[in-house]
Structure 1
Amino acid sequence: MLRIRYLATLGLLGLLAWFQWQIWTGRGSYPNVELMREEIRVQKTSNELMRQDNERLANDIADLRDGREKMEEIARQELGMIKPNEVFVQYTKP
């Protein structure tokens, strides 16, 4: 009877030690959880920046579909197009 109690106590202490080992070094350990929280924070920041970019692009697409003003702006900036009776002056820094 004493031997069974001794083995049961030893088994429970071993189980307790194993649980403590998992808490401090295992997959769900405190340091690992903090690392995951930091990764989540970085990912949320990245997601917010991408959401803003997507919103800007969606607005550009809507402008292109709805009117000619955006197309004219792009043509003027990227292709150097001018309207009839306009004077184009190019200035370059020396």
Structure 2
Amino acid sequence: MRWLTLVLVVLITTLQWPLWFGKGSWLRVWQLDKQLQEQRAVNQTLIARNAALDAEVGDLKRGTDAIEERARNELGMIRQGEVFFQLLDPNGKSPPRQ
């Protein structure tokens, strides 16, 4: 009877070892599931960023408002006949250029 018990324990251990510690083990599945969750979170942030960039490209293609806004903010352009006022910091520091 002891002999049979020992053989069964060795057999069960031999069969269970790959399931828990082998190449396709449960531990590896749990690690891959965690990596999958992290990658999905990264993908969601990239999808949101791409949507914002796509909307900006659409605005630039469709109308002049977005182009005018970028010209004013990034290049410092003004329309003909407009008066540009620059307010300086009383401490003598100039405002940061964009």
Q: What TM-score do the two structures reach when normalised by structure 2?
A: 0.73
Map of 2:21 onto structure 1: 25
Shift of 1:17: 3.1
Q: Percent identity?
A: 35
Map of 1:61 onto structure 2: 57
Q: Distance in 2 between matches of 1:37 and 1:77?
A: 45
Which structure carries more relative contact order (alpha carbon 8 Å, separation 6+)? Answer: 2
Say what the alpha-carbon RMSD is for the aligned residues.
Answer: 2.1
Map of 2:74 onto structure 1: 78
Deviations 1:48-89 (A, max 9, x none): 111111111111111111001100011111001111222222
Sort the Cα spacing of 1:13 and 1:77 in 2 relative to 1 into closer, same or farther, 3 A: same
Q: Distance in 1 between matches of 2:32 and 2:9?
A: 30
Map of 2:39 onto structure 1: 43
Shift of 1:92: 4.2
Map of 2:94 onto structure 1: none
Q: Which moved more, 1:42-51 or 1:15-24?
A: 15-24
Q: What are the ranges of 5 or more consecutive residues in structure 1 without an aligned counterpart?
A: 1-9
Aligned length: 85
Structure with the largest fraction of helix: 1
Sort the Cα spacing of 1:83 and 1:32 in 2 relative to 1 into closer, same or farther, 3 A: same
Q: Distance in 2 between matches of 1:56 and 1:86?
A: 31
